[in-house]
């Protein structure tokens, strides 16, 4: 039994603005067939993306094992940008883990906002540390730097804890925004702009350098905060956080996102719109 993506269906129905209200049964059946095919295409695309990510993750893991045979294992650091209220001075990032603050320091590079130091207190021997500091450029953005890996699960059991799904939770103060995420062997970068849109850009030397846009406004009621258009832009993000080491998290991201109904809806809508959009220079009707 094939289930239909309601978002894609709605988009397709809205696109067909010239359709008469009374249509022949044959036309409806043709539309139904077309939708079924597109639904299958969406499923295939999603499955292909998941498989591709898993394969890349496996490759990265193998490469890391090779590297670790030659060099000492470097401590893993991951950096996230989290949008919050600029008036909120607590420097608290809700990421699904429990943290104990053990220090705060004013740093030279950003003297206007102190850097807070946290240790994971969810597990007694968890080695993970976290540094949180406001972005120098945009005060509404917190730069959270994680060091080490948790030896336990988050509170809600998700790979990234509440951090990953903040847009679908009741608390909308901490909306995750990504830096341009660099997939080392892939060259793909992903950003979320001010309108809650994920931009996934393939590398310029790719055979199909077509950016994919996912409109996250479909997934909930994320507030559109005024941020002068700088917080989520690649230019600004890179100035706050040069690189993200997300190698071992790709599989977690994919697994988590593909289970998220809101994400799959947004993904389906974006892919559907790109499929159904008439190619430039062609006349479809």
Interacting residue ranges for DNA, rule: CB under 7 A = 90, 98-105, 107-109, 115-117, 121, 129, 131
Contacts of 169 (CB under 8 A, 6+ apart): 162
> Minimum distance between the CB of residue 156 and DNA, rounded to whole angstroms?
17
**For residue 215, what are its two tokens?**
């409109």
* Closer of 112 and 235 to DNA (Cβ): 112
Nearest CA to 140 out of 171, 175, 111 is that of 175
- Looking at residue 110, what DSSP letter applies? -
* Closer of 42 and 132 to DNA (Cβ): 132
Q: How far apart are CA 234 and CA 67, in angstroms?
A: 30
* Closer of 44 and 102 to DNA (Cβ): 102
Cβ pair 83, 174 in contact under 8 A: yes
**For residue 9, what are its two tokens?**
């269906």
Cβ pair 177, 138 in contact under 8 A: no
> Minimum distance between the CB of residue 104 and DNA, rounded to whole angstroms?
3
Residue 146, classified by CB atoms within 10 Å of its CB into exposed (0-12), middle (13-18) or buried (19+), is buried
Nearest CA to 119 out of 106, 141, 103, 95 is that of 103
> Minimum distance between the CB of residue 79 and DNA, rounded to whole angstroms?
12
Calculate helix-pair angle for 25-70, 261-276, nearest 10 degrees: 120
* Closer of 211 and 242 to DNA (Cβ): 242
* Closer of 100 and 277 to DNA (Cβ): 100
> Minimum distance between the CB of residue 241 and DNA, rounded to whole angstroms?
14
* Closer of 103 and 211 to DNA (Cβ): 103
> Minimum distance between the CB of residue 129 and DNA, rounded to whole angstroms?
6
> Minimum distance between the CB of residue 8 and DNA, rounded to whole angstroms?
44
* Closer of 60 and 116 to DNA (Cβ): 116
Nearest CA to 112 out of 139, 132, 88 is that of 139
> Minimum distance between the CB of residue 122 and DNA, rounded to whole angstroms?
9
Contacts of 187 (CB under 8 A, 6+ apart): 202, 203, 205, 206
């Amino acid at each position: 039994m094939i289930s239909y993506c309601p978002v894609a269906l709605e988009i397709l129905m809205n696109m067909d603005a010239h359709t008469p209200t009374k249509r022949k049964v044959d036309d409806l059946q043709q539309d139904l067939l077309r939708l079924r095919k597109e639904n299958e295409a969406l499923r295939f695309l999603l499955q292909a993306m998941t498989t591709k990510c898993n394969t890349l993750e496996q490759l990265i893991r193998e490469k890391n094992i090779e590297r670790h045979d030659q060099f000492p294992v470097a401590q893993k650091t991951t950096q996230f940008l989290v949008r919050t209220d600029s008036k909120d001075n607590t420097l608290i990032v809700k990421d699904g883990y429990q943290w104990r603050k053990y220090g705060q320091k004013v740093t030279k590079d950003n003297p206007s906002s102190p850097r807070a130091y946290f240790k994971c207190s969810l597990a007694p021997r968890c080695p993970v540390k976290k540094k949180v500091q406001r972005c120098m450029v945009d005060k509404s953005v917190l730069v959270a730097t994680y060091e080490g890996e948790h030896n336990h699960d988050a509170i809600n059991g998700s790979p990234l804890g509440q951090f990953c799904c903040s847009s679908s939770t009741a608390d909308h103060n901490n909306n995750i925004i990504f830096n341009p995420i660099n997939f080392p062997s892939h060259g793909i970068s992903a950003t979320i702009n001010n309108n809650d849109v994920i931009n996934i850009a393939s590398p310029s030397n790719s055979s199909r350098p077509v950016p994919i846009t996912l409109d996250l406004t479909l997934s909930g009621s994320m507030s559109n905060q005024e941020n002068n258009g700088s917080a989520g832009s690649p230019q600004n993000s890179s100035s706050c956080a040069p690189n993200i080491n997300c190698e071992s998290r790709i599989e977690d991201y994919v697994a988590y996102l593909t289970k998220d109904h809101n994400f799959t809806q947004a993904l389906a809508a974006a892919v559907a719109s790109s499929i159904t959009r008439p190619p430039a220079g062609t006349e479809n009707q």
